Amino acid sequence: DGVTEVLAHHSESLQDKFIEIPCSEDYDSHKRFEGCTPRKCGRGVTDAVITREEAERIRRIAERGLSLGGSDGGASILDLHSGALSLGKHFVNLYRYFGDKIQDIFTEEDFALYRDVRRRIQQRIAQAFGISSASMYLTKPTFFSRINNTEAKTTHDEYWHPHVDKVTYGSFDYTSLLYLSDYTEDFGGGRFVFMDAGSNKTIEPRAGRVSFFTSGSENLHRVEKVHWGTRYAITISFTCNPDHGIGDPVL
């Protein structure tokens, strides 16, 4: 694994930590949007945007939704926008599959909290990178993940491979993760790792912690395999291209 440096320990409460790094050339092969497309690149961590209590409420949304399905392997996904829900080795559309029963699972308050959290994260990213939050658009996929140590059954379960978000999803310009459970208390393994030349920079999840970064090759990353327990998080990503924007999920 080379040298590992912990950027954010699970036991500390960080106000704001930001590290600027040179941008990759990934953005050059896409249309540039002045005042939004990254010219300043980097990564940040904060425990000051979302409270632990809010993170618990959001985790309960994830738990309720994922209890309707779940992957046969170790990684389950719930996307409130598209309705995609892991079920066995496949995905179903939550909204079509459960129809009106959805009203018994989620409330308007759930979706209002989701919108509020998304907005605050968006503003924090804009502030860190010196852009206008109005020039950023939520983009897909934006999803809850539940990871445990069950053996992978399909390629969707193999979450631990190094990847670049801008390469995987062309629309991504800024990626954020809101952690909904605690490293070493709720699960073991499952740390987030930036893979830099010569060393790894690691973030230990903590409920309410937000990590965010520009989505290009300057932030090659992976998630360690979860060894025990259950790790919950939500990935919320933004694009500068309004054509790739999506609205907040609605009940």
Q: How many CB atoms lie within 10 A of CB 65?
A: 23
Report the distance separating Cα 33 and Cα 125, nearest Å. 16
Report the distance separating Cα 69 and Cα 190, nearest Å. 22
Which residues are known to be catalytic?
A: 231
Contacts of 159 (CB under 8 A, 6+ apart): 74, 75, 145, 147, 223
| Three-class DSSP labels, 162-204 | CECHHHHCCCCCEEEEEECCCECCCEEECCEEEEECCEEEEEC
DSSP calls for 97-138:
HHGGGHHHH--HHHHHHHHHHHHHHHHHHHHHHT--GGG-EE
Token readout for 5 is: 């440096």
With H, G, I as helix, E, B as strand and everything else as coil, classify residue 17: strand
Report the distance separating Cα 51 and Cα 173, nearest Å. 25
Token readout for 65 is: 């939704």
